Structure 1
Amino acid sequence: MAGGVAVNGNDQPNSDKPSKLDILDDGGSGGGGGGGGEEGEINDNPIEQVRLTVPITDDASQPALTFRTWVLGLMSCVILAFVNQFFSYRTNQLTITSVSAQIVSLPLGKLMAATLPRKKIGVPLTNWSFSLNPGPFTLKEHVLITIFASSGSSGVYAINIITIVKAFYHRSIHPLAAYLLAITTQMIGYGWAGVFRKFLVDSPYMWWPANLVQVSLFRAFHEKERRPRGGTTRLQFFSLVFATSFAYYIIPGYFFPSISAISFVCLIWKHSVTAQQIGSGMSGLGIGSFGLDWNTVAGFLGSPLANPGFVIVNVLVGFGLFLYVVIPIAYWSNSFEAKKFPLFSSHTFDSTGAKYNVTRVLNQANFDIDMDQYNSYSKLYLSVLFAFNYGLSFATLTATISHVCLFHGKTIYQMWKKTTDQLKGHFADVHTRIMKKNYEQVPDWWFVSILVIMGGLALFACQGFGAQLQLPWWGVLFSFAIAFVFTLPIGVVQATTNIQVGLNVITELIIGFIYPGRPLANVAFKTYGYISMAQALSFVSDFKLGHYMKIPPKSMFIVQLAGTIVASVVYFGTAWWLLTTVENICDASLLSEGSPWTCPGDDVFYNASIIWGVIGPKRMFTKEGNYPQMNWFFLIGLLAPVPVWILSRKFPNQKWIPLINMPIIFSGAGGLLPAKSVNYIMWAIVGIFFNFYVYSRFKGWWARHTYILSAGLDAGVAFTGVLLFLTLQSYDVIGPTWWGLQADDHCSLAKCPTAPGVKAPGCPTF
């Protein structure tokens, strides 16, 4: 958690000197960070971490929503949205976070402040005017630009639906229906956010721990920096890393993709299925595999440099227990007929071990399940890893609930009680009082208008266009009800513990039982029920960041609204462009050798639509299906945090015990499919090296350079990848034809089934 002495927007330590800074003092000293008890709550904030990190000062005259904010914010939003959607279809994904834009926009903002003319420009036919350069680049502008960028980096979940319709089911979808699906799922949550912002933003007890890291980073960037003797400034270091990453990625991105995943075991034992299952980092356990590509490290799991050390250890424990204990035992004991199928696959199979022919059980006219065809064909089977992945998702859900109740339940209850008491008495901390005094609040009707408009458009998208999305009107409203009911309790948990309980499994489970046999209805319901809640909490979290940084609420709202609309357009446009121009996109069997357009994330989403939508949970996870045992994971997850909690109570001096986080352990391995074992291995190696060795031995360097190193590596890979596509790969110039062009580890036998008599292309028959 961020700590230390807070520094105000004018680069001075907290003080009682008013100047242009507004320090509210309602019956107290107005002093800062150390207050406690009733006086501390009145004059600052009741949460110690907030008192140590967030200043109690504000310069209301500081420009926020300026010309520079719009230019740099929109540019960041567009670039991040394009790059993230572009790379989401590639074998090695890459996600660029808003931290990259946060770093790059600082020197650009200062450059604009130094070069743009200050003359005011009038808006024709109005009394409005604005300045291209209102003065020095401000902290508030920087915050708003980063909020713009976060809209572009957060993704549009509904694009997965569009992709599986066009690239996997090979059906048409009206582009307007597709776009309305994308924009409404992103924006319906703003309505829930408006309803609950009084509880989740204004209350000092809803403190959103993750935002304190951002507050600290913003304040560090706006301190005056001197280049250390023999060293570099942060900008110089970023430029060096970016240039190096940009140049190097030409090798794994074009000339030698095979170095993204190297397996010594496969190179030595070229004809052994078992050896390749053990050694393959792409299709097996990954023992002895590694990659020499930053995209392999950060492509699926995000940059390990930005994760706390204890998180990396928990993920690694979950990954190790799952992949090296549970899966080998289950596979080689032939549980769930595991040997009929590949060890490591996100595909679905029939009883013979062949890929499940979903067209045989789908009524093409209505695009729903044909039960006669299903009964005469086969039940649905999964690889053992994919089946246990669903078990882990069940365990993660209940473990999160149990963990939060045990470790944070008392705190959450106390904070919620104080929140409701505060709202009854109109009591607020210093930050809320500053915001109420200095800035005009966002009217409730703004939120209500968005809720009504987007709700209507969502109904139109699902009911119009020949009901292509299959979800009936009651399903749309039911998904809204689920999101509405869960937004506040999950928001309280996230605002106090930094843990968000996902609704994706529950929503697809509910609609799978109520309305089975319809794949698009299932994924549409899941998206409206889950993502609208997640978007609401993302909006509220950003609003709390603006609350801490004293950003005018209307400016925050406008930036978030504009960023969401622009990002939705760019994500949709990029996806539609690639889906309609890249031949055989997402079909690995038809793509040319070395083509990166394998869509690993969408492949998992597609197969999930078959499991939960076409076949349905009743025919998968009850006695009618093959995997009723996976339901035990609900109980396992619920009970798993209990021993950790008991040990933490019995040995309170052992500070490492509470760091054992069962939800992270369960979810740690849950990223396997689409991520591969080599991604986990390299992510863990890099993360442990930087967050343990470098952190302990070179803490000053780590504090100054780690986040910037991460941003520079991400940015270099992104720019080179896009440049290679636009100049070469879009013209089918994939790369030089040779052994190293394959973007895998040359472990083709790792994908082979080992059950007697099962045949698969390119595999021996046992």
Structure 2
Amino acid sequence: MAPHDGIDQLPQLPAAPSSPAESIDEKKVFEKRLSSDSSIGHKVEQGSAYDDDDVQYVNGEPVITSGRDVSRYLIDVRDDGDPALTFRSLFLGTVFAGLGAALCQIYLFKPVQMSVSTVFLLLLIYSVGIAWAKYLPRKELVEGTRFARLAGVIDFINPGEFRIKEHVISSLIASTAAYGSTAVMNFAVQRLYYETNVEATTAVLATFSTACFGYGLVGLLRPLTVYPSEMVYWANLPTVSIFQALHFDTKENHKRLKFFWTAFTGMFCFEVFPSYIFPLLNGINVVCLSTQHVGSAAQDVITNLFGGTNGNEGLGFLSISLDWQYIGSTFVSLPLVQQVNSWIGYGLCYVIIMAIYYSNGWNSKMFPMLSTSLYSQNGTRYDQKAVFGDTFSLNQTALDIVGLPALTGSNAYANLTANLAIGGLIAHCLFFWTPYVYDSFKQARTKTQPDPHWQVLNKNYKEVPWWWYIILLVLAFFAGLIVVFKGQTTLPWWAYIISLLLGAFITPFSTLLYARMGNGIATNQLMKMVAGAVNPGKPVANLYFSMWSHDVVSTSIGLASDLKMGQYLKIPPRAMFLTQIWGTLLGALINYVVMVSVVDAQREILLDPHGTNVWSGQEVQSLNSAAVTWSLAKQLYGPHGPYIWIPLGLLFGMIPTAFQWAISKRWPVIGGIRVDSVILPIIYMYSAWMSAGSNSTILSSFLVGLVSQLWLRRYHPGWFKKYNYILGGALDGGAQVMIFILSFAVFGASGVPKPFPAWAGNPVQGNVDYCNGNGALD
């Protein structure tokens, strides 16, 4: 993708007729509002990026296509200058950080990996904040009385109206705590597979180290990954739209707010059905329902292809899901170019995984078609404790007796595509986006960044000095060093330094892709490869090496996304700095406590390669499998190993992108499609997307993306601009509030589960979608 051509580079569909006058009037109205808003007294400098006249209009409304369009037309440039960092905002953020972190940790043990919706958190905070402002005493109550001296204290506790910046600060503290961390999942791996209970102090220090090192890098990379308009972080848009709808008092926002609460309430009430009472709604598949009496061999094939509601059941082909908790607003938010690339990957995934299994690639038929667990060569669960013992180091004699571990064909393929995607990511950034990188840092140095939101923020508030971030990097480094020397990591200090350097190298590439496309590439496979090379025979050391290197990348992306939200909503940068550090510390502690609770309560299910439709250990299984196999890198991935093609994928992922770049220089457009709009690393990643977990949501996600990003955005841009992101956020919020209640009430997050009584929509035996092959009824 060319650096300055915008995000959505797919061929433009023809616009509905609109008169030239409509387009000109719309543009003049916007520019007038942008250049001078007398109600708030802020002026925004006009940059060259706003002199273009290349925006497509339908019925007088601009079609939101690129990041520049988002900044110009979707997000209000308004800044009321209200206070951000108050006692109220810190208190509410701290309280709800506990809720966000708890939900995040619960979702890490689900069959579909979902993030905690910021919308869910901001709504709860908004409700409490409004009640706080309304019902607690205000300083006006004592002014002019003998208690006037208490006015300052009362104003400190209740400064009046609960306004947008206080709301944003509270929500970002909670959402920062809700990011989750590979560090905490590593401790879960040690607890489940190595019977090691990591101390809370070690856990908090390790999590603080990875998160704050990532945040330090984000601060240094701000000119590249936050300031420019094209760095959208598309998943933020529902949240930003809701913040402005809740607090900007206009007639249009009242309509949007009413629409929001209607959709939120509807989804809250509905979600109890697919998630608890009627789980068949999570994966309705006509083929499964109509083939109940076929032979067992045919039923196995049908389950592998069409089944997908239970964890690791099948590929979920043609299943329709009505369970929004697993669909999510992602596909309402992601740009069309990203979604089309992912759809290509999905199509390849169905074909390739079935082909690998039924051709017996990597000896696949000895194991389940989908699983992230480790197996012995005879198909039983691998006895890793016998091989690595209590010292977490390789016992060669035991390895000779037990034999090498084996991966399922789907897991091996997922590892291969992960390396292909990493290689493609690096190549795509270097070949297609290098000019953009140069321009971004030049604009930061000369303070000529044309993004209107950055201009307001830069004019009205002090930026965080560079040395603040450098100090944070130093503190994070020493916190990690303490863990290395005092914790049960088996990781040498020099390997710890290598892991941080590797994470720092990958962070800019991953953040660039995530900011522009809305999702990134899982780079932890590269980290585990390097870990296996520097720490052979030490799976726990491999866990910690990949934790520091990969968590630096993942937390950098999350924190950069929050900084962008702060830019859109005009939050003072120094308040953002303190907010994110505080949220990180809270999340480290709470994530650890919830992890211990879930692991202890659901231990056997988490160790089971299949799990259930409620709980799944696929995340910890995957982490452990990768750590064990890469600690045996020479035997498994060496020249004579069964998985030699997996590490070579890193190189092979770069080569096609190099050819693509060369072709784009000669033929920028082929068949009406821009060559640089084909994002190969995204295609690689999604071509193995269904290698584990519950897959019944794919078709529903595809349909949501088509309706939102193709039909509404192209043909109804007015409705899209006003309501699209509001709707996505409302549905997320309603579903996640209900899931939080159900997790502790009936799903057994902290004790014994209470399943709903069996009936046709909730079968007591077999898979929920009635695809009952693969031993479901054994």
Structures share a fold, TM > 0.5? yes
Q: Is the 8 A contact 1:187 1:450 kept in 2?
A: yes
Specify whether residues 537 and 383 from structure 1 end up closer, same or farther in structure 2 by C-alpha distance, changes over 3 A only. Answer: closer
1:291 is the counterpart of 2:321: yes
- Cα distance between partner residues in 2 of 1:16 and 1:711: 31
- Cα distance between partner residues in 2 of 1:5 and 1:76: 41
Q: Which residue of 2 aligns with 1:267?
A: 292
- Cα distance between partner residues in 2 of 1:534 and 1:654: 35
Q: Is the 8 A contact 1:265 1:279 kept in 2?
A: no
Q: Which residue of 2 aligns with 1:332?
A: 358
Q: Which residue of 2 aligns with 1:374?
A: 399
- Cα distance between partner residues in 2 of 1:182 and 1:535: 10
Alpha-carbon deviation of 1:540? 4.0
- Cα distance between partner residues in 2 of 1:6 and 1:543: 30
1:310 is the counterpart of 2:340: no
Q: Which amino acid aligns with 1:254?
A: Y
Q: Is the 8 A contact 2:177 2:585 kept in 1?
A: no
- Cα deviation, 1:242-298, whole Å, max 9, x if unaligned, reads 333333333333334344334336534362233333332252333453434223434
1:654 is the counterpart of 2:672: yes
Alpha-carbon deviation of 1:522? 0.8
Moved more, 646-655 or 544-553: 646-655
Q: Which residue of 1 aligns with 2:695?
A: 677
Q: Which amino acid aligns with 1:167?
A: L
Number of corresponding residues: 720
- Cα distance between partner residues in 1 of 2:576 and 2:51: 29
Alpha-carbon deviation of 1:511? 1.2
Question: Of residues 366, 381, 406 in structure 1, which corresponds to 2:431?
Answer: 406
Alpha-carbon deviation of 1:555? 1.1
Specify whether residues 587 and 308 from structure 1 end up closer, same or farther in structure 2 by C-alpha distance, changes over 3 A only. Answer: same
Q: Is the 8 A contact 1:23 1:58 kept in 2?
A: no
- Cα distance between partner residues in 2 of 1:554 and 1:351: 56
Q: Which residue of 2 aligns with 1:356?
A: 382
1:612 is the counterpart of 2:630: yes
Q: Is the 8 A contact 2:559 2:580 kept in 1?
A: yes
Alpha-carbon deviation of 1:71? 4.1
1:255 is the counterpart of 2:281: no
Output aligned runs, 1:615-764, within 5 Å: 615=632, 617-641=633-657, 645=661, 646=663, 649-651=667-669, 654-655=672-673, 657-695=675-713, 699-728=717-746, 729=748, 730-737=751-758, 740-741=763-764, 744-750=768-774, 762=778
- Cα deviation, 1:419-447, whole Å, max 9, x if unaligned, reads 4xx63x67776876765664344355543
- Cα distance between partner residues in 2 of 1:519 and 1:322: 30
Q: Is the 8 A contact 2:303 2:771 kept in 1?
A: yes
- Cα distance between partner residues in 2 of 1:612 and 1:635: 18
Output aligned runs, 1:53-72, within 5 Å: 58-60=79-81, 62-72=82-92
Q: Is the 8 A contact 2:85 2:169 kept in 1?
A: yes
Output aligned runs, 1:40-439, within 5 Å: 50=71, 58-60=79-81, 62-102=82-122, 105=125, 109-110=129-130, 112-119=132-139, 130-197=155-222, 210=234, 213=237, 218-219=243-244, 222-226=247-251, 233-262=255-284, 263-264=288-289, 267-269=292-294, 271-272=296-297, 273-281=300-308, 282=310, 283-298=313-328, 303-324=330-351, 326-362=352-388, 364-416=389-441, 418-419=442-443, 423=445, 435=457, 438-439=460-461
- Cα deviation, 1:486-529, whole Å, max 9, x if unaligned, reads 44566567667777565422221111111112112111111111
Unpaired stretches in structure 2, ≥5 consecutive residues: 1-6, 9-22, 54-66
- Cα distance between partner residues in 2 of 1:48 and 1:316: 24
- Cα deviation, 1:616-655, whole Å, max 9, x if unaligned, reads x322222232111334533442233456552683437825
Question: Of residues 586, 594, 619 in structure 2, which corresponds to 1:566?
Answer: 586
Alpha-carbon deviation of 1:226? 3.2
Q: Which amino acid aligns with 1:384?
A: G
1:530 is the counterpart of 2:585: no
- Cα distance between partner residues in 2 of 1:260 and 1:186: 34
Specify whether residues 544 and 239 from structure 1 end up closer, same or farther in structure 2 by C-alpha distance, changes over 3 A only. Answer: closer
- Cα distance between partner residues in 2 of 1:547 and 1:695: 24
Aligned-residue CA RMSD (Å):
4.1
Give the TM-score normalised by the residue count of structure 2: 0.81
Moved more, 381-390 or 575-584: 575-584
- Cα distance between partner residues in 2 of 1:694 and 1:208: 20
- Cα deviation, 1:660-683, whole Å, max 9, x if unaligned, reads 322211111333243333232332
Q: Which amino acid aligns with 2:345?
A: G
Q: Which amino acid aligns with 2:415?
A: Y
- Cα distance between partner residues in 2 of 1:15 and 1:239: 33
Secondary structure of the residue aligned to 1:734 is coil
Q: Which residue of 2 aligns with 1:470?
A: 490
- Cα distance between partner residues in 2 of 1:432 and 1:680: 37
Specify whether residues 744 and 470 from structure 1 end up closer, same or farther in structure 2 by C-alpha distance, changes over 3 A only. Answer: farther
Q: Is the 8 A contact 1:286 1:677 kept in 2?
A: yes
Q: Which residue of 2 aligns with 1:42?
A: none
Specify whether residues 440 and 287 from structure 1 end up closer, same or farther in structure 2 by C-alpha distance, changes over 3 A only. Answer: closer
Alpha-carbon deviation of 1:227? 7.0
- Cα distance between partner residues in 2 of 1:92 and 1:56: 37
Q: Is the 8 A contact 2:232 2:564 kept in 1?
A: yes
Identity of aligned residues (%): 24
Question: Of residues 573, 593, 598 in structure 2, which corresponds to 1:578?
Answer: 598
- Cα distance between partner residues in 2 of 1:194 and 1:331: 45
Q: Which amino acid aligns with 1:14?
A: L
Give the TM-score normalised by the residue count of structure 1: 0.82
- Cα distance between partner residues in 2 of 1:311 and 1:368: 42
Q: Is the 8 A contact 2:417 2:684 kept in 1?
A: yes
- Cα distance between partner residues in 2 of 1:244 and 1:98: 19
Q: Which residue of 1 aligns with 2:18?
A: none
Question: Of residues 525, 529, 544 in structure 2, which corresponds to 1:505?
Answer: 525
- Cα distance between partner residues in 1 of 2:529 and 2:349: 24
Alpha-carbon deviation of 1:388? 1.0
Specify whether residues 274 and 498 from structure 1 end up closer, same or farther in structure 2 by C-alpha distance, changes over 3 A only. Answer: closer
Moved more, 695-704 or 353-362: 695-704
- Cα deviation, 1:544-589, whole Å, max 9, x if unaligned, reads 4434543222211111111111222221221122223445351338
- Cα distance between partner residues in 2 of 1:488 and 1:396: 15
Specify whether residues 239 and 498 from structure 1 end up closer, same or farther in structure 2 by C-alpha distance, changes over 3 A only. Answer: closer
Q: Which amino acid aligns with 2:333?
A: A
Q: Which residue of 2 aligns with 1:757?
A: none
Q: Which amino acid aligns with 1:405?
A: L
- Cα deviation, 1:682-709, whole Å, max 9, x if unaligned, reads 3223333443345556554444433333
Specify whether residues 158 and 295 from structure 1 end up closer, same or farther in structure 2 by C-alpha distance, changes over 3 A only. Answer: same
Moved more, 209-218 or 177-186: 209-218
Secondary structure of the residue aligned to 1:336 is helix
Q: Which amino acid aligns with 2:656?
A: A
Q: Is the 8 A contact 1:266 1:279 kept in 2?
A: no
Q: Which amino acid aligns with 1:740?
A: P
Specify whether residues 133 and 623 from structure 1 end up closer, same or farther in structure 2 by C-alpha distance, changes over 3 A only. Answer: same
Specify whether residues 196 and 635 from structure 1 end up closer, same or farther in structure 2 by C-alpha distance, changes over 3 A only. Answer: closer
- Cα distance between partner residues in 1 of 2:676 and 2:462: 42
1:455 is the counterpart of 2:477: yes
- Cα deviation, 1:106-144, whole Å, max 9, x if unaligned, reads 56545544544331899x999988434434443333432
1:480 is the counterpart of 2:500: yes
- Cα distance between partner residues in 1 of 2:44 and 2:705: 43
Q: Which amino acid aligns with 1:674?
A: A
Q: Which residue of 1 aligns with 2:14?
A: none
Q: Which residue of 1 aligns with 2:58?
A: none
- Cα distance between partner residues in 1 of 2:741 and 2:242: 30
Q: Is the 8 A contact 2:357 2:409 kept in 1?
A: yes
